[in-house]
Amino acid sequence: MNKIPVSETVSYLISRISKAHRNRANELLATLDLHAGQELLLQQIHQQEGITLNELTCGMCVSAVTVTRTVERLEKNGFVKKERCTADQRSVRVYLTEKGKKAVENITEKMWEELEKETVANMTTEERILLKRLMMQVLKNLT
Amino acid sequence: MNKIPVSETVSYLISRISKAHRNRANELLATLDLHAGQELLLQQIHQQEGITLNELTCGMCVSAVTVTRTVERLEKNGFVKKERCTADQRSVRVYLTEKGKKAVENITEKMWEELEKETVANMTTEERILLKRLMMQVLKNLT
DNA sequence: CATACTTGTTTAGCTGGCTAATTGTTTCTA
DNA sequence: TAGAAACAATTAGCCAGCTAAACAAGTATG
């Protein structure tokens, strides 16, 4: 393999895109009183009310510590409610509050849709499909 | 536009890939006593010895605060040296130490090359070129 | 039944990232 | 030339992410 400059590698592009993408996500989420990272958690809880912290950890590719603390902050801000599991006293179950449910709806409408529109701007449908396929391969390669 | 599940958007894939990619970068950089984010700074300083913090900020899509503090840590760990600019007393110039220079070499060899290999595994040359082109478009869209 | 192991969560302490506000220089301009 | 404006860097304080280690509850085993 010929040596190519770092700035022309896929890895370098991922680094740059990651920052830009997260910055934009943060801007959009700020209007909902959320920070990038919290939206995935809320959506996961929405898909499975009463999910445990451990299940959240597994399904999110994020450390248990991060889940514990983020849920703690989401609770402080009134988006979720925690509850010790009665069966297994070790586990903690998490539920969305009314505010949390509304937030989830807004996340899709005001963040994901807008973000996606901007991200894949100036691309044909074929290019978008291709990009998704290739990125799925990248994700598989890295996990 | 038809509604598609969030999990099938390019944006969602970027979120997931960002985490996985950063995690892997961190693993590789740990062997060099560095953390993800520091490698880009060191390489930028390598390209322009005596670069100012302000120039680093502009060239890296990162806030001035982050640059200040990261350079501070890199100095504490012996990778770089700071120096007040004589002409303009406001500015601070940054230089690589011997340790820093060695680190830059290792970053390319032990991080970027390995990371790139893993990232674009199981892809044809055509697919890689295409992926790069599409990702460059995404980057342009987001900045 | 008591001890050892496993599992879920939490604490402490580190990283990069951010914004807002402050400090110190330089430059512009009335 | 003195005061205002612009600019570079820093401080304080917040966020998500991590590992290592502690803690507590459940399970298994001698």
The pLDDT tens digits for B98-114 are 999 999 999 988 899 99
The mean pLDDT of A36-43, rounded to a whole number, is 94
- Four-residue CA torsion sign, A21, A24, A29, A30: positive
The ipTM assigned to this model is 0.85
Question: Residue for token digits 């990261």?
Answer: B70
Compare CB distances from A17 to B24, B25, B142 and report the shortest one's residue: B142
Gap from A23 CA to C19 C1', Å: 13
CA atoms within 13 A on the CB side of B27: 8
Whether B52 has a pLDDT exceeding 60, the answer reads yes
B131 touching A (Cβ < 8 Å): yes
Inter-chain residue contact B112 with A138, CB threshold 8 Å: no
Hey, of B7, B11, B47, which one would you mutate to test binding to chain A, going by the most A CBs within 10 A of its CB? B11
- Provide the pLDDT for residue B143: 82
Q: Helices A53-60 and A38-47 meet at what angle, rounded to 10?
A: 120
Vertex A115, ends A101 and B125: CA angle to 5°?
A: 130
What are the tokens at A71? Answer: 């849920």
Inter-chain residue contact B18 with A18, CB threshold 8 Å: yes
Q: How far is B86 from chain A (nearest CA, A)?
A: 32
Q: What fold characterizes domain B6-142? A: Arc Repressor Mutant, subunit A (1.10.10)
- Provide the pLDDT for residue B8: 82
Residue type, A46: H
- Provide the pLDDT for residue B48: 94
- Provide the pLDDT for residue A86: 85
Q: CA Rg, chain B, in Å?
A: 18
Evaluate whether A101 touches A46 at the Cβ level (below 8 Å). yes
Q: How far is B19 from chain A (nearest CA, A)?
A: 8
CB B131: neighbour CB atoms within 10 A?
A: 22
Q: Which CATH architecture has domain A9-142?
A: Orthogonal Bundle (1.10)
The model's pLDDT over B68-93, given as tens digits with 9 standing for 90+, comes to: 999 999 999 999 999 998 888 999 99
Task: Tell which B residues from 78 to 107 touch A, by Cβ distance under 8 Å.
Answer: none
Chain C positions within 7 A of any protein Cβ atom are 7-13, 15-20, 24-27
- In order of B35, B48, B58, the CA distances from B86 in angstroms are 31, 18, 21
The pTM for the full model equals 0.87
B18 touching A (Cβ < 8 Å): yes
Q: What one-character DSSP code corresponds to residue A110? A: I
The model's pLDDT over A46-78, given as tens digits with 9 standing for 90+, comes to: 999 999 999 999 988 899 999 999 999 999 999
- Four-residue CA torsion sign, A12, A14, A17, A18: negative
Show me where the domains of chain B are located.
6-142
Hey, of B1, B2, B10, which one would you mutate to test binding to chain A, going by the most A CBs within 10 A of its CB? B10
Which helix H or strand E contains A93, and what residues bound it? strand A92-96
